[in-house]
Amino acid sequence: MKVQSGARVAVAGAGALGSATALRLARAGFAVTVFDPAPPGANASGVAAGMLAPVSEALFDPASRDHLPLMRRARDLWPAFAEDLGLEIVRAGVRIEGSETWRTQVGQRLRELGLPIGEVIVEDWRVDALRALEALRAASEAAGVRFQASAIEAFAPGTLRLADGRTEAFDVLVLATGPGARDGRLAPETVALTPIKGQILRAPVTESDAAVVRGEGVYLAPGQTLAIGATMEIGRDDLAPDASATQSLRAAAWALRPDLDLDRAKVEVGVRVTTPDGLPLVGWSAASGVLLAVGARRNGWLLAPLVADMVAAYLNDDNPGPDAAAMDARRFEEPKS
């Protein structure tokens, strides 16, 4: 479906996917408004560690194991994307630390993935997630995107209804609502999404080394604070910090750095959302005029530039690229009998 340049596009959600998409669409000549009732950064995108880590994800997240080539393609879009935003990519890599048994297991997994065996994964990078959100918002506003602090409740081509009852005229809705809007009312495909609560600890940075440290059951990602993450609580979408769930994270972090002061660490909570195969839903919904950009699991930042490019391609009726089938928005639809 080709949408005319200048068409009015509403983006629901100002996380990594919605923000990257809004900027991309504004640059492509669409009249874009982003709707999000939450304050900037009050979402999974603002809580995230900001790792752009295809190899670590293929190694440590079973659902991502088969997606290494796709994740690498997504990462390779980042240098131009970050340069445009004036955002630094930290390329200090990921250092594997821990017991000899654990490092041997990781070496075995690296071998199975056809990757070089070593103690530092040099091709995994990271960015500062909150700075990235700020930079995306500033660039979007400069490109003419409007932001409204409202939730979208209903859409049909021509009419968008907001939670406060107001209606506005839009031609297309891009759904980038993360764990929100999973009841299928805005797009039936969202019922395939499962939330995964993630808690992450933030402690003061004590080392000058910029590399992420990856140990058994934990990562330590330096930045403005040391991000120690993260729990994977499948099926949960509440934002309540829960000390019992972070206990194993603390133990795993102390095993690597016994001197870490975790008693005063701040706990932050975000909810990721996943599909059964771990890749997002990207493309036209069965609901008329609705395009999906949702379900990025642990990789919303990594995938954001790729998803934004694909959404722009769908709106322009261009080729969405080699990852379109793998991320097809309707791939979990029940076949019609």
Print burial letters for 121-154: b (CB count within 10 Å at least 16), e (below 16): bebbbbbbbbbbbbbbbebbeeeebebbebbbbe
Q: Give yes or no for residue 291 binding ligand FAD (CB under 6 A).
A: no
Query: How many angstroms separate the CA atoms of 106 and 56, rounded?
Result: 10
Q: Which residues are CB-neighbours of 135 under 8 A, at least 6 positions away? A: 85, 86, 87
Q: In what order do the strands lie in the sheet with 281-284?
A: 146-148, 31-35, 8-12, 172-175, 290-294, 281-284
301 binds ligand FAD (CB under 6 A): yes
Tell me, by CB under 6 A, how many residues bind ligand FAD: 41
Taking contact as CB under 6 A, which single stretch among the options 6-14, 62-70, 77-85, 253-261 is the one that binds ligand FAD? 6-14
In whole angstroms, the minimum distance from the beta carbon of 161 to ligand FAD comes to 11
Contact by Cβ (8 Å): 96, 106: yes
> Nearest CA to 275 among 174, 192, 180?
192
Residue of 35, 60, 147, 170 that binds ligand FAD (CB under 6 A): 35
Site string for ligand FAD, 213-242 (x = CB under 6 A): ----------------xx------------
Point out which span in 14-22, 23-31, 248-256, 326-334 binds ligand FAD (CB under 6 A). Answer: 14-22
Minimum distance, C-beta of residue 303 to ligand FAD, in the bound complex (Å): 7
Determine which residue in the list 7, 27, 31, 38 makes contact with ligand FAD, applying CB under 6 A: 38
Distance between the two ends of the chain, CA-based, in angstroms? 26
Buried b (16+ CB within 10 A) or exposed e, 101-119: ebbeebeeebeeeebeeee
- If one asks whether residue 313 binds ligand FAD (CB under 6 A), the answer comes out as no
Q: Which of residues 90-129 bind ligand FAD (CB under 6 A)?
A: none
Task: Indicate whether 299 belongs to the interface with ligand FAD (CB under 6 A).
Answer: yes
Binding site for ligand FAD (CB under 6 A): 12-18, 35-38, 43-45, 47-51, 151-152, 176-181, 198, 200, 229-230, 270, 272, 294, 296-302
